[in-house]
Amino acid sequence: MSYPSPEVTDAIAAMEKYRAAEEGEVGSALVVVGLSAERVTREARIRDDMIRVAHRSGASIRQLAEVSGLGRKTVTSIVSSETDLGE
């Protein structure tokens, strides 16, 4: 499998962003932690958007809290927030 050069360049830049000057195992661990944190943030945005969609479609706060593993207060906060679907 080959990757276009811009994809490789972007991946290397993302890794270097977190590696800093650390080499070896520490540098590699920092890369994994940094990239994982980015993914968690992205996934939380998607989850929150889907919670809003489900609530507008009729799902209750209790149902959303159960399936998401979040507390009802947290779900209520998400539902009432302004951000929605990529805004």
Number of folded domains in the chain? 1
> How would you class 8 by CB atoms within 10 Å of its CB: exposed for 0-12, middle for 13-18, buried for 19 or more?
exposed
pLDDT in tens, 53-70: 999 999 999 999 999 999
Domain assignment of residue 30, yes or no: yes
Domain assignment of residue 15, yes or no: yes
Q: Which of 2, 81, 23 is nearest to 48 (CA)?
A: 81
pLDDT in tens, 9-40: 888 888 888 887 778 899 899 999 999 999 99
Structural domain harbouring 10: 5-80
Domain assignment of residue 21, yes or no: yes
Domain assignment of residue 86, yes or no: no
Domain assignment of residue 14, yes or no: yes
Domain assignment of residue 17, yes or no: yes
